[in-house]
Structure 1
Amino acid sequence: MHTRRGALQGLAAGAAALVAGRAFAEDGVLTVFVGAASSMDFTARLIAEQYRVTLGRPALMVSKLGAGQRLALGEVKRAAPDGRNLVFATSGPFSVYPYIYNKLDYDPVADFTPIAGISFFDVAIATGPMTGVKDLKELIEWQRRQKEPVFGSAPGNGSLSHFVGISTNLATGLHMTHVAYKDSGVGIIDLASGRLPMMITGLQPMVEMHKAGRIKLLAVSGSVRSPLVPEVPTLREAGVDVSSSTYTGVFGPPKMAPELVAKLHDAVAPMLSNPVILEKFAQQGMTPWPATPQQLAALLADERKRFEALVKASGMPREDA
């Protein structure tokens, strides 16, 4: 009797939660949190605007910078599963952080609900006047001759830039020491002034200095060349068997109703076929990636396997989060 009554009460509570979730999704302000600057907060604004237009309700972007996006993730992890609070984030906190930090304050699978894939972007390898090389092959040989070869990356430890450097070490047998930059601008200045031989960071911030001849882009990390600099080869084309991109997506709190997830996915998806938005993506060095919740979850699962193996092979020590 008590067991049956408890089960019925549990079912009633679950049904009430689903109804409440659907009701809340129809009204109130929808907030899109973002934990990284530059092209990330730019895109988060586009996402919030898309939700405003499609759902016909107030929507805004809130920048919550710090702790490698973890502050923004925390806002959504603690939120009710009603669709009012979402986060736009890169794949790193879900696929990389579990293997580079000793203890995270979230579970990358259980604490979030994948909603939609949005974009992916590459990083690029560049050099400056310190080396005087003309291509990646020459840079690798230059690094081999150095007593203490180094490379810089931004935004530093655990980023795609960092892992492209680690992967390049493993693929070429180099032992370059990593110099972490929180700000890509500082690293690019060091590169252009001859204080740093090699920088790995997002492509877009380096394009103008490359075109001005102050630095030289040698390779992009993705599987295809970038339309921003079509003359620059991929790493594989340049002779280094490495290919890696950062993916971005929209995530909600845990235990969201499937109907609500589908609604939020369908509401944001049209922006990825909008020519105006696609042009803005291209200017930021991003490629649209219109993934379903299931495709986003599957990609992150594959990424976790890949980065677990990569961290283990590199011998990279774990850090405190």
Structure 2
Amino acid sequence: MQATDISTLEAVALAATRSAAVASYAWVGRNDQKAADAAATAAMRAALAGAPGRGTVVIGEGEKDDAPMLFNGEKVGTGRGPDFDIAVDPLEGTSFCARDLPGSLATIAFGESGTLWSPGPGFYMDKIVVPPRAKGVIDLDDAPERTLAKVAEALGKKVGDLRVMIMDKPRHKELIARVLEAGASVQTPAGGDVGGSLAVLLPTLDIDLLLGVGGTPEGVMTAAAVRALGGGMLGRLAPQRDEEADAIRAAGMSLDRVYDCTELVAGEAFFVATGVNGGPLLGRPRKSEGATIAESLLISRGQVRHITHTTFELTSPAGTTKETR
């Protein structure tokens, strides 16, 4: 993609996540995950409809949870401009949104056409995410104790000083126990796969690595951020049910192959997130003197930008109009 195309598409992605975040915020604390997800998806789809060019959803969220979604293969945009790939989760952390717990995000990644990896029928993947200084030492086949030792050495720390992000899921019970036994501290959110990975990449959040099994859409979006910032990431399909494993094999895909972030995202790409109900990364949308304010994060071309969107509602004799600045 040309630099001008990237800048234009970054603006589209920011508008899409902002729209999704504001729409889903109406459902914060209402204990209805699907309604929140549906609101985010509809708002994001509407925002993407006006994108210059033709976007293809390579990997979307929803199928594994029977939730509303932007589906794999869906086309968006006007068709007038560059072709590009999309990886998307309109509402990452739906349970956080429904229960008004911090950490839910509207998320999306754009890449050059043909560069974002498609997991086919694979919904889950095992992954490691580390900062740039540890990118050359990780191996998915290592025992967690060896991974901790290698990452600690690369970062100039002791294992006991490491802070590890692992989602609090039944599948991670043994992994969490082994990491704790090795001496590292563990942060165990109930979800928030992308947010956990971003905590590794952004030094202000003080997480040294992420381990465990999460969703494939989140994995590809994470890879876009990792690649843009020079971090390290490895992933491998990790089906959670026999039917998922059978579907992956039937599609001719390997359950053993390990992908690094340059294979998950094989070209120019960027990542965008907007906060839905607050947390360490981004604040929630809020109203102030006739305006709606939302906070976003753009990771692109080696840079991290925090962006505040303010939408003013201006009344006039003709009625009410909205202007985004």
TM over 0.5, shorter chain: no
Which structure is higher in helix share?
1
Q: Which has the larger radius of gyration?
A: 1
Structure 2 length as normaliser, TM-score?
A: 0.31
Which structure is higher in strand share?
2
